[in-house]
Amino acid sequence: MKFLVIGADAAGMSAASRVKRNLPDADVTVLEKTEDVSYSACGLPYNIGDPGRDLSDLVVRKAEVFRSKQGINLLTGHTATRLDLSAQTVTATAPDGNDALFGYDKLLIATGASAVIPGIPGTDLPGVFALKTLGDGRSIKTFLERNSVRKAVIIGMGYIGLEMCEALRERNIDVSMMEMSETFIPWMNPALSDYVKEETEAQGVRLHVGYPAEKIERTGGALSVISGDLALEADMVILALGVTPNTGFASEAGLETGPSREIVVTRNLETSSADIYAAGDCADAYHVVTGSKIWIPLALRANRAGWAVADNVCGIRTELPGVAGTAVFKLFHLQVARTGLNPAEAEKSGFDPVEAVVKTRSRAHGHPGSNDIHVQITGDRKTGKLLGFQMVGHDGVAHRINAPAVALHAGMTVEEYAQSDLAYAPPFGPVWDPTLTAAIQLMKKL
Amino acid sequence: MKFLVIGADAAGMSAASRVKRNLPDADVTVLEKTEDVSYSACGLPYNIGDPGRDLSDLVVRKAEVFRSKQGINLLTGHTATRLDLSAQTVTATAPDGNDALFGYDKLLIATGASAVIPGIPGTDLPGVFALKTLGDGRSIKTFLERNSVRKAVIIGMGYIGLEMCEALRERNIDVSMMEMSETFIPWMNPALSDYVKEETEAQGVRLHVGYPAEKIERTGGALSVISGDLALEADMVILALGVTPNTGFASEAGLETGPSREIVVTRNLETSSADIYAAGDCADAYHVVTGSKIWIPLALRANRAGWAVADNVCGIRTELPGVAGTAVFKLFHLQVARTGLNPAEAEKSGFDPVEAVVKTRSRAHGHPGSNDIHVQITGDRKTGKLLGFQMVGHDGVAHRINAPAVALHAGMTVEEYAQSDLAYAPPFGPVWDPTLTAAIQLMKKL
C-alpha cells in the first residue's frame, strides 16, 4: 500500500508514523516543502522570548529519525504543485528544481495553514515578520540578535499577537499593538476582556483598537505602521492577523473547500474525493455543540486527526466526534481560556443563548495567595443545554476549562454540569469550583 | 413552617440560609453543640502550619450575621440528645445544663463526623490531638505556641495526616508517621504512591508503614508512640485515623444507617423517617459510577446537599445525582488527586477493571519548568466504561482531575473520553493532555 502525505508537521507525521506502526510493510512517503519537520509551532513565541533557548528545542523528532528508525521516505524541500485525481499522482518540485511524480493508493493532505499577510504596502520590508513556521521563528530570532530592537509594533491581537507581545516584553522590548476591530479580544465577554486588557497595559503595552493598518513605511532607520492619524514607530513589526489554510493545491484539483477555504472532510477525515484524506490546520471539523462544520486550527485536533487518518487508511474505520473549540493561552501573569460557543456564536447556530458572568476566587476562603477568577458561561434557554465557557485568572484557569469541555462533548445541560463532583482543597480553589458557581448563577436565568 | 437543623457547619448552615432565602417567613432554628459555626475545616492544616495566620480566617460567616442579617435562630452550645419521631421534637442540652425541647415540621440532621480515636492507652495524654473541628485546631495551635515542639508523630497517613505532616514541617518540626497498613496510601497505584512517598521522605519525614499503634506513653517530658519494637518519641502526637459519622443520636431514634454508621438518604436527602433529612459528613450518597450507596465525607457534597435539603423542604423537589469521589490534596510540592474507582473498588462493584499507568510531562515538549506527571486510569473491560483516574504531579493535577470527574458523571467510555477536545498551550501541558495519553494507553488493553 502506497501512502503519500503532503506536509510533515503534526497531522502529516502523526499519520505517517502510525501507518508504519499499523502496517510495517506500507510504502509511506512524505513531501515537505521546507527543511523543518515535526516541531511545536505553538512553542515559538515562548522560545523567541528567551534568548537563552535554541529553536531546536521545539523539534519533537528529527527528520533522520523518521527516515532511519521508522522507515518513512521523508522528502524535505519538496513542494507539491499538482494533484491528478484520475492518475492518483502528485507532482512536486524537488530541491534540484526538477519535477518529480509520486503515485499513491491513499493520499493525506496535511499542508497546514499560513500566516495571513495583509494586502498593504510595506509587508515585505526588512524587520517586518509574520510568525507561523519554524523558519519565521528563525528569521525573528536572528533579527533580534543582529539588531538593537527597542520598539516593536504587533498588528493583530489574536493568540499569536498576544503571545508575541509577552515574548517581546520578556526581552524588554517596548511593544505597541494595533487592531482593526473596535474591541479587544472580540470573542470574549467585556468583563473578562477588560481584565485581560488591564493586565496587558499594566505590563507597559500600548493597545490601539479600531485602527486598521494601512501601510508600513521605512523612514531612515525606523519602521512606521500607519493607520489614519496614528503612526507607530518601530524597529520591528510583527504581522499577527491569523492564519489561512494552505489549500490552493487541493482546490485546484477540485476538492471541496469551505467558507474559509479549508478542506471539507467527513468524520473519517475523507475529502470529497475517494482515497484522499485531509487533516490538521488545512481541514475542517464538526463542532460537538452545533453539529455543524467549523474551521478551528488547533494542535491537538491535528495530531488526533493524523492518527485517525492512519487508522482509516489501514482499514481500521475511525470517526472523530469533533472539536469543542477548547483553547488556552498565557498572557503575562494571566491564563485565558475558552471552550464551546459564546453568545454571538450560539445565536448564529440557532440557539437562544443566555449568559452569566461571575467573579470568584482561585483559592478557598481564608487561604493565602488567592486571586480573582472571572468566569463566563453560556447556556441555551430552550433546552437548558450548556453551550460554552470562558475564563480568565492568575491561576487555576488552564486546566479548569477542561471539565466544561468534557461536559460539552457529553451534551450536558447547565444543571447537570452544576451537579458535577469536582475536586476541592483550599490551596486549589473554593469549595464551589468557579465553573460550578457560574453554572448555578446561569440556572437562575434559564 | 418550622425547620429545625442540628449542626451549624457546611450542610446545616447552607440549608438554613437557603430556606430563609426561599421562604423568608419560615421559622428556622439551628442547634450547634460548639460555639463555632460555618468554618472551613479543610483549611485547618494550612492554618496550623502558619503561625502568622489566625484561625478566625477560616470562619466563613459569623454566628451574629446568621442571626441578625438572615433571621436564623442559631443556638450555639446546644447539644441535641434525643429525637422523638412521633412527637416531632428534639431535646437538647442548653448551655445552662438544662434540657430544652424543639418542635419541627421538617428536620435536618447535619451532625457531621468526628475524628476516630483509636482504642489504645494514652490518647488522652496532654500533647495528643485529633484534628477535625475548629476547637481541635485551637488546641493544637495553642499547644504549639506554649511548648517547644521539635518532634511530632502522626498516627495515620490519610489526607488529614499527610496535610498535617506538611503543616508541621512548615513549622520546622521533625515529623514521623506511623500507619498500620502495609502500604503507603493504599487506595493508590504503587507507581503513584511511591512517587508521593519519595517526595514526602525527601522532606525529611520518616514513614513507618505496617505498624499499628499500640499505646502512647509519657516518660519524663516526652511522649512515645509504641508499636511492637518500634518506639517513636515526640513532643506532640496527632491522631489522623479518619473520621466516623456522628449518628448515635439518629440511630437511637431508629433512623436507618449504613455500614459505616452513616445515615441512609434518598437522592432527595430524605432519611428513612418522614420529614427528616440528613446531609453532610453524617449522610451517605449515591456513587455516580456504581449507582450504589457510598459514604465519602466531602465538603462540596455537604454544601450541595444542604441546598438540596432546603429546596426539598420548601417544596422545590430536588434530586442529587451523587458523587464521583473526586478529591485532591497538596503535599509539599505535590498535588495528589483522584476521582471514581480504583481497580479494587471496581472489582468489588462487579466491574472487570483494567488499568493503565503513564508518566508524562506537565508542559509541552521543550517548554521550561516541565515536571513529571503520573496518571493512572481504570476502565471496564466488558463495557469500555471509564471508571476512575488518579494523578500525582508537581503542577497541573488539581484541576486536571475535574475533566475525568465530569466524564464519570456523563457515563463516558474510555474511548469517548480519549476524544475530548481539551485545552493546549505549551506552558500548561503537552499537546495530548496527560489524561488523554492515559486513556489512549488503556484503550490498547480494553
Residue A187 in contact with partner chain B when CB distance is under 8 A = no
- pLDDT (0 to 100) of residue B74: 97
Nearest to B432 among A303, A328, A431 (CB): A303
Q: Give yes or no for a contact between B272 and A393, defined as CB atoms under 8 angstroms apart.
A: no
Position A168: which residue type? L
Chain B neighbours among A 300-359 (CB < 8 Å)? 300-301, 303-304, 320-330, 335, 337, 339
B51-110 residue pLDDT tens: 999 999 999 889 999 999 999 999 999 999 999 999 999 999 999 999 999 999 999 999
Residue with cell 499500640: B214
Q: How far is the C-alpha of A153 from the C-alpha of A168, rounded, in Å?
A: 10
SS3 A211: coil
Alpha helices (H) along A260-413:
299-313, 343-348, 402-409
Q: Which of A384, A390, A391 is nearest to A351 (CA)?
A: A384
Chain segment A199-253, per-residue pLDDT in tens: 999 999 999 999 999 999 998 889 999 999 999 999 999 999 999 999 999 999 9
Q: Which residues, 6 or more positions from B136, have their beta carbon under 8 angstroms from its beta carbon?
A: B44, B115, B129, B130
Give buried/exposed letters for B11-49 (b at 16+ CB in 10 A, else e): bbbbbbbbbbeebeebbbbbbbbeebbbbbbbbbbbbbb
Task: Convert the pLDDT of each residue in B360-399 to its tens digit.
Answer: 999 988 788 899 999 999 999 999 999 999 999 999 999 9
CB atoms within 10 A of CB A182: 9
Nine cell digits for residue A69: 528508525
B102 bridge partner residues:
B90
Contact flag B433-A40 (C-beta cutoff 8 Å): no
Residue B165 known to be catalytic = no
A374 forms beta bridges with A359, A392
Contacts of A46 in chain B (CB under 8 A): 367, 426-427
**Mean of all residue pLDDT scores within chain B:** 96
Query: What is the arrangement of strands in the sheet containing A174-179, beginning at the earlier edge strand?
Result: A128-130, A236-239, A151-155, A174-179, A206-209
Give the cell for residue A8: 510533515
Task: Show residues of chain A in contact with B58, CB under 8 Å.
Answer: 365-366
Cβ atoms within 10 A of the Cβ of B147, count? 13
Instruction: Tell me what pLDDT residue B175 has.
Output: 98
A399 torsion bin: left (phi>0), alpha (psi -120 to 50), beta (else): alpha
* Structure confidence at residue B250 as a pLDDT band (50, 70, 90): very high
**Interchain proximity A428–B10, CB inside 8 Å:** no
Could you tell me which residues come within 8 angstroms of residue B290 by beta carbon, excluding any fewer than 6 positions away?
Answer: B341, B349
State how far the Cα of A110 lies from the Cα of A113, in Å rounded to an integer.
9
Q: B interface mutation test: which of A298, A421, A441 has the most B CBs within 10 A?
A: A421
Interface of A with B in 381-420 (CB under 8 A): 396, 398-407, 409-410, 412, 416-417, 419-420
Asked if A368 lies within 8 A of B50 by C-beta distance, the reply is: yes
Residue A188 sits at the chain B interface (C-beta within 8 Å) = no
As for the ipTM of the complex, it is 0.96
Q: What is the pLDDT of residue A365?
A: 81
**pLDDT tens figures, B166-220:** 999 999 999 999 999 999 999 999 999 999 999 999 999 999 999 999 999 998 8
* Min Cα–Cα distance to chain B from A79, Å: 27
Dist. CA B234–CA B243, nearest whole Å: 23
Encoded amino acid at A409, one letter? H
pTM confidence score: 0.96
> Using an 8 Å Cβ cutoff, are B430 and A10 in contact?
no
Per-position pLDDT tens, chain A of length 446: 999 999 999 999 999 999 999 999 999 999 999 999 999 999 999 999 999 999 999 998 899 999 999 999 999 999 999 999 999 999 999 999 999 999 999 999 999 999 999 999 999 999 999 999 999 999 999 999 999 999 999 999 999 999 999 999 999 999 999 999 999 999 999 999 999 999 999 999 999 999 999 999 998 889 999 999 999 999 999 999 999 999 999 999 999 999 999 999 999 999 999 999 999 999 999 999 999 999 999 999 999 999 999 999 999 999 999 999 999 999 999 999 999 999 999 999 999 999 999 999 999 887 889 999 999 999 999 999 999 999 999 999 999 999 999 999 999 999 999 999 999 999 999 999 999 999 999 999 99
* Closest-approach residue (CA) in chain A for B420: A406
Helices H / strands E in chain B, number of each: 12, 25
Q: How high is the pLDDT of residue B221?
A: 84
Q: Which sign, positive or negative, has the C-alpha torsion A220, A222, A223, A224? A: negative
* Count of A-B CB contacts under 8 Å: 228
CA distance A91 to A99: 6
> How big is chain B, counted in residues?
446
Asked if B428 and A402 come within 8 Å (Cβ–Cβ), the reply is no
**B323 contacts in chain A (CB < 8 Å):** 421
- Given a contact cutoff of 8 angstroms between Cβ atoms, the answer to whether A6 and A108 are in contact is yes
Does residue B74 sit at the A interface (CB-CB below 8 Å)? no
B374 neighbors B394 (Cβ within 8 angstroms): no
Task: Decide if B361 touches A, using CB distance below 8 A.
Answer: no
